Structure 1
Amino acid sequence: MKVPNTPLKTELFNFKRHDIAQVVAIEQQLYNDLAYPELLFYQAVHQWPSSQFICRDADNILAYAMYAPAEKANTLWLMSAAVKPNCQGRGVGTKLLSDSLRSLDEQGTTSILLSVAPNNAAAVSVYEKLGFEVIETAEDYLGQGQHRLIMQRKITDKDSL
């Protein structure tokens, strides 16, 4: 599947309008046995409805981004962002993240945190393009030998006032 000729649209994920199975399928294609379970996606949509996003063409969900509250007020974690494998490298993920960051800024979010594998150069590059900076290298972050870069993007300076 190529990125469609129809315009891409980023929107809040709403399980009443959208097929959650498409989001779960993207997750499973990318992460296999380490994929988040379907139940987590239902919980996220119910618990944090204003911070779950999808990017779609006219018919299909091509990517999703799942944000969750952090300990600090007005700060979210990007828990997962994924693009269908056959749509990667075509700007779908960048559009999704750029649009979702803009929406979160409008909602009053001041900072986004994420973790990414240090060897995932493509993802690190996209995150840096979107204004994320490495703030920590965390060894064994997701278990033995699972090192991560912790990156942060301050959306606004609202929290420094």
Structure 2
Amino acid sequence: MSAVSAVSLAPESRPPWVRTITEEDLPPLSRLDEEVFAEHAYPYFVLRQLYDLHGDQLLVLDDGDSLVGYVLVGTQSDKSRSWILGLGIDSGSRGRGFGRQLMAEALRRLRAEGVGEVRLTVEPANTAAVELYESLGFARLDHHENYFGPGDARLVMTLPLRR
């Protein structure tokens, strides 16, 4: 037996990868969404329906053991506009570029599908998210003081995909 074959090699550590959601991902996705968005988290039944409607546009970031993050996109039937309906990263995994990784893949797919524009909403005080979106080319479109109800403001941002 050679020395190399006798040595037990540790399995390679694979960085988290983006993939399309599966039905089995719904329970961990729901837990992640609740952790990230608390009172604004989607109820499980809504995530289920979003999966049924937009499952091909619901991407997860998988580290091999758990879901690290997700991005959910909803596209109008005429492909004139898509909305980023949610982007969430596990609290222990923030600041490592995973939000950018998910958004880049979502935007790549939308461009390939011929979508004209992408919009999203973000809490104005979430400077890290606003800076991420601006670095990806999103521009501030509007500020709604009561977007999600009284006193629940959101900044609407837009990114044209067709030039």
Normalised to the residue count of structure 1, the TM-score between the two structures is 0.86
Letter in 2 for 1:106: A
- Give the match's secondary structure for 1:33: helix
Unaligned runs of 5+ in 2: 1-12
Shift of 1:71: 8.1
- Give the match's secondary structure for 2:133: helix
Cα distance in 2 for residues equivalent to 1:33 and 1:66: 18
Correspondent of 1:93 among 95, 99, 102? 99
Q: Which has the larger radius of gyration?
A: 2
Normalised to the residue count of structure 2, the TM-score between the two structures is 0.85
Correspondent of 1:56 among 39, 57, 62? 62
Cα distance in 1 for residues equivalent to 2:147 and 2:134: 21
- Give the match's secondary structure for 2:96: coil
Aligned length: 151
Cα distance in 2 for residues equivalent to 1:124 and 1:60: 26
- What percentage of residue pairs aligned between the two structures are identical? 25
**What aligned pairs does 1:50-129 form with structure 2 within 5 A after superposition?**
50-70=56-76, 73-129=79-135
* Residues 87-107 of structure 1: per-residue CA shift (max 9 Å, x gap): 111111110111111012112
Letter in 1 for 2:113: Q
Counterpart position of 1:19: 25
Cα distance in 2 for residues equivalent to 1:71 and 1:42: 20
Cα distance in 1 for residues equivalent to 2:53 and 2:149: 27
Unaligned runs of 5+ in 1: none
Counterpart position of 2:45: 39
